[in-house]
Each structure stands twice: as structure tokens, then as C-alpha cells.
Structure 1
């Protein structure tokens, strides 16, 4: 029996593949490589512990590969919150339609378990912070958040209708080595173009929770091992938060730059669909016995160092 990881050549997906291989699992990675990179899992392919099927989930030719799989880790998605406000169709198709096609392939081939990566943005601008999993009402403020919430509903329906089990994880901001987007990547690009001035979207006071990617993967495995309901939903994040200006300060310090001026675009929101304050309650995970070893500031510094080393 083997595991399937959709989006397994991407940022979080490739770290997940690392961990599954380390556990002795055989892994089939399905990735279109439009965002993922083969070299992130090349060593596992060479060792024979992982196979790569270069396919788009919106096309055909991958469904029969699910036969004999024990679990699908469905990470493939369009993760660009900002872009979803400008061109929502790709986000809708790559998130909702692709997830439906994954669930159908599981149903046809009898795959019993799915692990799904959702997002804190399903909560929208929550009035309760830290936000628990049972918070209501869900009012996403981005198309991206709405598509992830729709995927959660589809997965729940398939679990109850067809006897599957699911673990659905609502992530805070996950950061670290191999990340190709987000505030750290954006700041490094901007400072590479002009080391004396940094544009910061919004007022720089946006305050959010960040967690280093290895901690995230560890939490996923822990929850799957300790929760066995038909539908298991968990927040994953740190127990604190950090504002955008402080992230800029850490980056400038790690790049050893001096005299950098910050230019703010203004307003509480960095972009359409932005959530200016976000911290997730992780009490449900803590009740099982897991808690993060790193806070937001430590996670940001590790991620910045990794991103600079990759330049």
C-alpha cells in the first residue's frame, strides 16, 4: 500500500513527502509542476521511494493511479489569495473542481482516507481571536477562502456518504524553506530591486500567526495518528502572532542592510481579501497532546534565513 500526495513537489507538499519517505512509506506524487519543482523530491525519486506523475488534476490520465492507495494527501491547489480577487476562475477550478475529481477517484478505487490542507481564511474576519474550529458563522472575505470552505464541505459529504475518513487542517501562515510566495518572498524580491526602500502593503500593522513548515507537517501526522472520527478538523498554527513591520525588520536585519526606508501603501488591508488580524486557537490539537515548539517570530527568522540561503 502507498500514499498519494497531490501537489507533492510544492512547498508544503515536498516537506510532507520527505516525512512520509522517512517513515518508510512509498509515495506517489501527482503534480502538474506549474508551481512545484521536481528537484524538491528528486532524491526520493532516485531512491525509488517516490514516483512522480506529472499530471494536471483538471485533465485525465491520473485517476487509475489511485488503485491500491491507502491515503490521499490532497495539497494541490491555487494558493494565491490576492490573485483570486482579480481572476477567480482558476482558483475555483483548481480548488473546488480538482478536489471533487480527487474525491471521485477515491470513491471509484476505494481509497479510504484523505488528508486535506485548508486555511484560516475560511473564517474571514473572525470576531473571536484566537479563533476555534467551531467558530461561526463562516464568512470568507476572499474567493480563495470560499473555495477552501467549499472543499471542506465536499470532503465531509463524501466521508459520510461513502465511508471515508478525513483530516482537514486549517493552516495559519506556513513558512519555511522552498516557499515560493508570501510576504517574505515578496520583501526579498523588492529589496533585491531596491535595497534602500521597501514597499509594505497596507499600514504594516497586519498581525498574524506564522508557523515553520516542519512544525506544520509534524502536527498533521500527530493529528492523523490520534484522531479517528469520520471527519476530523484541526487548526494548525503558532500560539502567538507578529505584525508585518516586524517581519520587515527581521528581514532587513538578516540581510544586514542599513538605512532602509519603509513606504506603506496605507489602509488596514494589504489587498482585497486580506485578513488584518489572525490567530488560530490550537486547543483541539493541544488536547490530543501536540503543541508547537516555535512561535511566530522564531518561525519567521528561520524562514527568512532559509529563503536567503536559497537565493
Structure 2
């Protein structure tokens, strides 16, 4: 008996992005809150965070799951830079770090204007080497995903770290709780999720888009789309410019104009996702206690 299809078609165009026979696979379970997946093509491995358990886990197609790092300082979002190094957001020490090739840790950001960051959440690296990250207060709201503390920053900012000088600049300051972020394939647009409805239904549950000027300034901010179930958390784009977002009922796919064209239903609340595999056409999904994957008919835009 065939398993139930995980797809929810809202627009026929979604049929060209999915593999009809592909099914959602649960690769691992046992996490408390799975987050921050990042694919390393050269090592044929996926790393992701299990925030409350203070660990970063590793999955390989042949070797299964092992612990990559513990304790992880309540690491949340992860990415890799243009040199293939792991870049992580740590709730515990309220900083952004880079893991060097020899395994040592370099602190990229831990303060702004002389005050500690809130709790860096998610991070992306642009092709020019600049590091962009969000800084909501989730990691200091309680002792579950970090250490409870009062915020020192006056706003929940999105920051840009200059690759040449290391200077940190707040590029957006009007979010309630900025969360996942992703560039369009041509890097002319930055998408940022606002997930503040997680703690107040009256607050945003949308994704905003910004034009990127000169590779560093953001302008023309507008609401790109709304999430109809749950909140937007982690987001990614594919090579055609569609945006894939986490949500309460799975993964939502929006066309470049912000129209919902389809969903991949997932049994648990989705926190984040990333494209991986040799052809970047395997979507890895972190959802509450588990790591899932599903093959698609389109590839991710980010460098693996």
C-alpha cells in the first residue's frame, strides 16, 4: 500500500518543483529542538543543531548520525563561508563564531555599540564574504535554549559583518523578532523572517524582502508573504528564485512574487531547512525532534 503523499498543491507550477514519487524520510529522531541544518558537499555530510541538548549533530549517508560538538553553547543557526568553514550562532555565549579548518573557534561577533548581542539566531554568508545574521531574544527568554537574561540591545537587529574590517553594522532595526534569512540567487534581494507571533499571536508571522544596494545597504523593505500555519523560521531559496520556508504544518514554497504555490507536509513543526546532496536537490528539514529529507526536482541556490 502506497504511503500518503506529503504534497499539498496550491498552484500547478509546484508540480515542476517536486518529484511525485519521492516521499518524506525520517533520518533521525531524539532531538529536543532540531535547528540550523547546513550541508558540506566536500565532506558529504549534514550538520545541525539540537539546541536544548547543547550539541551539534552530524549525519552522513553511509555513517548515520554522530555528535559533532558537545557542548555547543546552545548553537542555533549554522552556515558555511566561502572557504568552507562552519559559521554558527550561539545562544549561550550570545555570539557568532567560525570553526577554523584546524577546529579552533574564532569569534566573529559578540557585541554591538559596546553592549552584548541578544542571542544570534540564524546566519548567511554572501558571495563577497560578508556575514549577515539575525539577533532576536529567543535565546535569553528562558534557560531552555540559552541563559535567561535581559536584553542589552535596544532593538532586535539584523546585522552585517564586513569581511575586510570585521566591523558590525545594524542594517535593519524594526523587526519584532527577526529569524531566518536568505538571499535570492542573484543576491539582489535579502529575505528575513519575522517570527514574533511565536509568543504573541498579534505580532508578525511574515517574511519581508529588501533590495540589497552596493552589497551592504538594504532598502525598499516590504512584506513578501505571510505564513498561514505557525510561524516562519528558517528559509532558503532555490535556483529559480522560489522561497522555501519552515512553518507549523511543514515546508511552504512561494514563487518569486510571494504567492504560495505548494506545501510539503511534515508530521512535526518545522524549524529550518537546507538544500544538500551531490546535486543540491535533496531538501533536509529539521522539525522539532527529527531530521527529515525529501528529494526535489529543483536545486538550492546556496553554495553547498
TM-score between both structures, scaled by the size of structure 2: 0.33
The structure with the greater share of residues assigned to strand is: 2
Larger radius of gyration: 1
The structure with the greater share of residues assigned to helix is: 1
TM-score between both structures, scaled by the size of structure 1: 0.32
